[in-house]
Structure 1
Amino acid sequence: MTWSTRFWLLTIMVVSLAFWTGERHIAYAVDQTPRSSLGLPDLIQEALARNPEIVAARQQWEAALQRITQARSLDDPTLSVQLWNVPQTFNVTQAQNSIFGLSQNLPFPGKLALKGDVASRSAEMTEQALRAKERELVARLKQAYYDLFLTHKAIQIHHEQVELLGQFVESTTAKFRTGKGAQTDVLKAQIELSLLFQQLPILEQRRETAEAMLNTLLDRDATSPLGIPQEPSQIPLDKTLDDLHRLALHERPELKAAELAVQRNEQSRALAQRQYYPDFNVAFQRFQNFQTNDGFGAYVAMSIPFALWTKPKYDAGVQEAAAALSAARAQHHTLENLTRFQVKDLLTRLRATDQVTTLYRTTILPQVEQSLDAARVGYRAGRAGFLDLIEAQRVWRGSQLEYFKALVDRQHRLAELEQVVGITLDRQS
């Protein structure tokens, strides 16, 4: 080996070791930063209390509740004053007749109650829309929480791999110095280590993005510091498909809202049919007569909705209400079918991820660890090549990442299933 080759090789070794040392320092600094554990239940409560979407939906429900009283109330009474035969001098005190009246419109019995029932069902639908928005927010929050967990794990695995490759660099360098190793092994180890260095900024960016998403759902500043998410549990789901179907059909807010829409349209149809009945106007009057006796009077007026020229309007109203009722029933049935499909699909995907995570935990990861140990021992003893060692560490890192990705994917599917079913199924949250 020429002096020039040795010089450049030594330079590469020094630079690589410097980078490795710096990377170890960064890893130490990141790992040692005091970070509290980030509890999911507390985050859910905070999001439900502060998230602007939930606050807006809650206020919409409050507004809908106030419309019930308005719908059940009578129209304002009317106060009237009539002056008859006023002298040309416009002296109103000398009017021959002064009539003071108080009148009130009275809908046919049952109309106001039906209007109140329609408004009440609408308010209940708004409440279920709020519950559905809450379930959606909780699902999104859980997914963001476990996405953040995955970024922390990816960074941790990255630092562990850097540490492992640093050991490879030291081992290959030591073998090369004693004449038992090849120069190419040293260069390959350094190249592999250098490739790892460029991945850390990307991993950090993903962590910051995940933190920003979680902070946004919590209505915090996007840069607010967050703790470290807890590793998800792998408690098996103890619900059968039939159990989940029954729960979803009974608990899902969207289905409750669709059922309430059917009830509201039934009451709207009944109200439309009630429009064939007349409304009334009742008035009480006080007569004051000039230079003669005063007196009292009253009258009752009635609308005529069954006149030949007005009846078609009410016929169309009944037909409109009947069509709206049929549409609401069809939409409710469609949502029931969609719910059954979603439950079946998500449960199947959840069970598949359960099988994958179990396979990784019980079989693949132990085998990968054994393969890495065997490759390391074989390389030191000269029974295995350096490429075998590099490949083993790549498989080790990839398997670790795939395991945690499958674990997080399971939590995503579980969160979606909870949103469809309408209740919490994960005991951890």
Structure 2
Amino acid sequence: MRKIIVLLILLSLSILLPHHSFSFVDSNEEIFKEEALAIEKKFSKTLFLSDLLKYAYVSNPSITASKESWKIFIENYRIGKSYPDPQLMATYFPSPIETRLGPQDWNITLSQAIPFPGKLTRQGKILEADTKISKLKLDKTIKNIVTSISASFYELIYIQKAVNIALANFNLNQELIKISETAYVQDKALFYDISKARAQTAQIRYDILLLKELEQAEKARINTLLNRAPDAVLGKASDLVLRDVAYGLNEIYALCMIHQEDVLIAKETVQKFDEAVKLSGYESLPSFKLGLFYASIGDPDVPTPPKDAGDDAIGVQLGLSLPLWFGKNKSQISKATASKRKAKADQLVIANQIKEKISRLWFKLQNSKRLVTLYEKELIPQSMRSVQTAETWFRHGDGSFADLLEIQATAYNFQLSLARAKADYGKTLVQLEQLAGVVLDKQIKDKQIKDKKIKKNKGDRDS
């Protein structure tokens, strides 16, 4: 009975050792998948950017890989925060060792290594920082995919608009060819004018062919980002309204320091190595080992056995490591300190690089906005009026057909340039939002709230 009780105690010790749990649950995953299947059915008709982004969140393999990587680090946290596995050792003696109380048939030892108090906590904080970094990398991957899909969507809008513009101008040039042929018969135009009109029409026909091939290439890119077959059917992209930016350049600089993933990863890395420096201090401290020993003693083969003959032996073990190699321990601390200094320097480098990219994108955004205004408000209205004037003059014999062709070609190029400028504006804005870490077209009320938060964070940093 006594042996059974001891074995139960040993088993209980192994079960009741402390452990930590950290589970990952994404309750919305199945909902997103069902919604994605419904969204895909609409792709053959009209494309909406919001539908593409929802579908990509579920289907894009890069996002899936980042999610699984995050889960890996979550499990690493659970593993790293736990005590080492206990050791159970049993010894059987074919020729029992004879003792005063009787022969020792077998013994069993259960031991548990215990780190110095506080070491597992520090190690857990490092692993927790790794988990946070992995989550930030997941957010970064999602934003990268959002940026790529959005940029392709804006490019697809441009291409489809350009095709429509080219088709309209192709039909117009067909009419101009007929006008030039009639004018040539009436000696109002030269044969050169007819040749020029035909050449211009052929160029537009080539533009249409090129644009349609570009459309297929852009759709293939979108399909691959959605993890679909490159030639899967995609319909016409719905037009997007140009969004105005509600923040200034300096405000965007401040926003990126608070919300941008690369900046946050660098900041979390500094904190991780700060904990690593503290953890390295434990290298000079001992770790402990606790154990429970049980030996089975048989009946002694003696004429007059002692009163406690045959009683089993129970013992408690205590051990500790001896951190005598001070040079190695000192190097561990120096290594962790150098890693922390490097992480701080990398944090500054990343912040400066992002601000430099924001500056370039801001210029590109403002330039695209100026071009949109220029073409919409001035150049295109002027060119269309010039086309009407040139056509009127030509019909009344006051202008040449060559002038009409030239002005018509200019109006065509202006229309394409406007579509190009709008696409560039949209693509640049989503790239800028990725670097800022937030959507930049919020209402003024939201902007004022952001201003207060930015000023508060700036004041905290100054303090």
TM range (shorter): 0.7 to 0.9
Q: Specify which of 262, 265, 276 is matched with residue 270 of structure 2.
A: 262
User: Aligned residue for 2:318?
Assistant: 300
* Partner residue, 1:239: 247
TM-fit CA distance, 1:298: 0.8
Q: Is the 8 A contact 2:244 2:441 kept in 1?
A: no
1:75 to 68, 73, 84: 84
Partner of 1:151: 159
Amino-acid identity (%)? 24
Equivalent residues in 2 for 1:126-141, closer than 5 Å: 126-141=134-149
Alignment of 1:29-428 (within 5 A): 36-83=45-92, 86=95, 95-96=103-104, 98-291=106-299, 292=309, 293-305=311-323, 307=324, 310-426=325-441
On the 8 A contact 2:257/2:351 being kept in 1, the answer is yes
TM-score by length of 1: 0.86
In the TM superposition, what is the alpha-carbon distance from 1:178 to its structure 2 partner? 4.1
Task: State the SS of the aligned residue for 1:108.
Answer: coil
Are the counterparts in 1 of residues 108 and 294 from structure 2 also a CA contact under 8 Å? yes
Looking at structure 2, the residues matched to 413 and 146 of structure 1 have their Cα atoms a distance apart, in angstroms, of 10
> Secondary structure, in 3 states, of the residue corresponding to 1:198?
helix
What SS does structure 1 have at the residue aligned with 2:398?
coil
CA 161–240 in structure 1, closer or farther in 2 if over 3 Å, else same = same
The DSSP-based 3-state class of the residue aligned with 1:383 is coil
Q: Which runs of 5+ in 2 are unaligned?
A: 1-42, 300-308, 444-463
Partners of 1:232 and 1:407 within 8 A in 2 = no
In 2, are the aligned partners of 1:353 and 1:410 still within 8 Å (CA)?
Answer: yes
Provide the C-alpha distance between the structure 1 equivalents of 2:187 and 2:361, rounded to a whole number of angstroms: 59
Give yes or no for contact 1:85–1:95 (8 Å, CA) kept in 2: no
Given residue 397 of structure 1, which amino acid in structure 2 is its aligned partner?
A: Y
Report the Cα offset of residue 239 of structure 1.
0.6
Counterpart in the other structure of 1:9: none
Length, aligned pairs only: 387
2:117 counterpart SS class? coil
Q: Contact 2:263–2:350 (CA<8 Å) still a contact in 1?
A: yes
1-structure distance, mates of 2:44, 2:281: 66
For the Cα contact (< 8 Å) 1:85–1:96, is it kept in 2? no
User: Is the contact made by 2:189 and 2:400 (CA closer than 8 Å) also made in structure 1?
Assistant: no
Shifted more, 319-328 versus 44-53: the winner is 44-53
- How far does residue 83 in structure 1 lie from its aligned partner after superposition? 4.2
Tell which deviates more after alignment, 79-88 or 255-264: 79-88
Q: Is the 8 A contact 1:81 1:99 kept in 2?
A: yes
Q: Distance in 2 between matches of 1:95 and 1:108?
A: 39
**Letter paired with 1:304:** L
CA deviation digits over 1:148-205, x for unaligned, max 9? 1111111111111111111111212223344544444333323332333333221211
Provide Cα deviations, 1:69-88, integer angstroms capped at 9, x if missing partner. Answer: 10011111111223458259
Contact kept? 2:104, 2:298, Cα under 8 Å: yes
Rounded to whole Å, the distance in 1 between the matches of 2:278 and 2:195 is 85
Relative to structure 1, is the Cα distance of residues 337 and 184 closer, same or farther in structure 2, using a 3 angstrom cutoff?
closer
CA deviations 1:396-424 (Å, max 9, x no partner) are 11111111111111112111101101122
Stretches of structure 1 that go unaligned for 5 or more consecutive residues are 1-33, 89-93
CA separation of 1:336 and 1:179: change in aligned 2, threshold 3 A: closer
Q: 2:69 touches 2:134 (CA, 8 Å); kept in 1?
A: yes
1:13 corresponds in structure 2 to none
Give the distance between the partners of 2:206 and 2:92, measured in 1 at CA: 94
Kept in 1: contact 2:358–2:432 (CA 8 A): yes
1:263-313, Cα deviation, whole Å (9 max, x unpaired): 1111111111111110011111112223233221111001111x2xx2211
Point out the more displaced range, 221-230 or 407-416.
221-230
- Tell me how far 1:138 sits from its aligned partner: 0.9
Query: Against the structure 1 CA distance between its residues 35 and 360, is the aligned structure 2 distance closer, same or farther, given a 3 Å change threshold?
Result: farther
Mapped partners of 1:140, 1:427: distance in 2? 22
Contact 1:212–1:222 (Cα < 8 Å) also in 2: yes
Deviates more, 1:129-138 or 1:336-345: 336-345
SS in 1 for 2:289: strand
Partners in 1 of 2:230 and 2:213 — Cα distance? 13
Residues 148 and 210 in structure 1, CA contact (< 8 A), matched pair in contact too: yes
- Indicate how the Cα distance of structure 1 residues 76 and 235 shifts in structure 2: closer, same or farther if over 3 A, else same: closer
Letter in 2 for 1:296: I
CA-atom RMSD, angstroms?
2.1
Q: Distance in 2 between matches of 1:96 and 1:187?
A: 114
Question: Residues 63 and 142 of structure 2 are in contact (CA less than 8 Å); yes or no, is this contact kept in structure 1?
Answer: yes
Instruction: Map Cα deviations across residues 322-375 of structure 1 (whole Å, 9 max, x no partner).
Output: 111111111112112222222232222211211111111101110111111111
Quickly say closer, same or farther: Cα 1:96–1:180, change in 2 above 3 A. closer
Letter in structure 2 aligned against 1:157 = I
> Normalised by the size of structure 2, how large is the TM-score?
0.80
Pairwise CA distance, 1:243: 2.0
